């Protein structure tokens, strides 16, 4: 069974690499920006994008299991994407500090005769921080490629006082517990 990760994310790739799962990472053949609809809520948006990423490769890999995933940060019904600059990152963190927000991560697996869709929601509460503390954090982690402007796998974890997650890896961008359950159900051999 060929496993394809429809992603250019180094974080998602690393999650599978560190578990020794054989796969190929292939850039999806869809433009995410064209698919984003401001009228969709966080769950509908991540599900749409995860599905589009996986299905964009199904003709190129007709017999493969193709994994698509997408993540956004939801705060008071406002969706945060990846900041493009340090100034935008600071603005996001200042808005999130001392509040609770949600990371929404959707997983879509396309197989020749079956498809699976799953969404994880993680609640995170940030400590209060000063602007200068957050600027120092941004310099330390450079979280410009992460929704919400933090990297929990690095120093970003320090920013938080509470995290409630069923699958911690979904915070990094791929709900591994659900993915592995899907692959097990499909007959994938993990221990060759």
Task: Identify the burial level of 74 via C-beta atoms within 10 angstroms of its C-beta, where 0-12 means exposed, 13-18 middle and 19 or more buried.
Answer: buried
Strand runs labelled E in 1-156? 3-6, 24-26, 65-75, 78-80, 100-111, 114-126
> Which residues make beta-bridge pairs with 123?
102, 164
Q: What are phi and psi of 179, to 5 degrees?
A: -60, -45
**What number of CA atoms fall less than 13 Å from residue 125's CA on the CB side?**
3
Give, rounded to a whole angstrom, the gap between the first and last alpha carbons of the chain.
12
Report the SS3 class of residue 141: helix
Please list the active-site residues: 70
């Amino acid at each position: 069974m060929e496993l394809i990760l429809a992603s250019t994310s180094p974080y998602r790739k690393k999650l599978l690499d560190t578990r020794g799962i054989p796969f190929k990472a292939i850039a999806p053949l869809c433009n995410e920006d064209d698919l984003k609809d401001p009228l969709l809520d966080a769950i509908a948006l991540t599900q749409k994008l995860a599905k589009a990423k996986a299905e964009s490769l199904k003709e190129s890999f007709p017999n493969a299991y193709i994994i698509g995933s997408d993540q956004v940060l939801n705060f008071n019904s406002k969706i945060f994407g990846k900041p493009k600059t340090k100034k935008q990152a600071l603005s996001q963190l200042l808005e999130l500090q001392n509040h609770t927000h949600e990371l929404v991560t959707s997983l879509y697996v396309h197989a020749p005769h079956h498809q699976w869709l799953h969404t994880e929601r993680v609640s995170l509460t940030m400590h209060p921080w000063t602007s200068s503390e957050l600027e120092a954090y941004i310099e330390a982690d450079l979280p410009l490629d992460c929704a919400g402007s933090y990297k929990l796998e690095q120093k970003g974890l320090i920013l938080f006082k509470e995290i409630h997650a069923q699958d911690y890896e979904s915070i990094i961008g791929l709900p591994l517990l659900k993915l592995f359950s899907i692959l097990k159900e499909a007959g994938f051999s993990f221990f060759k």
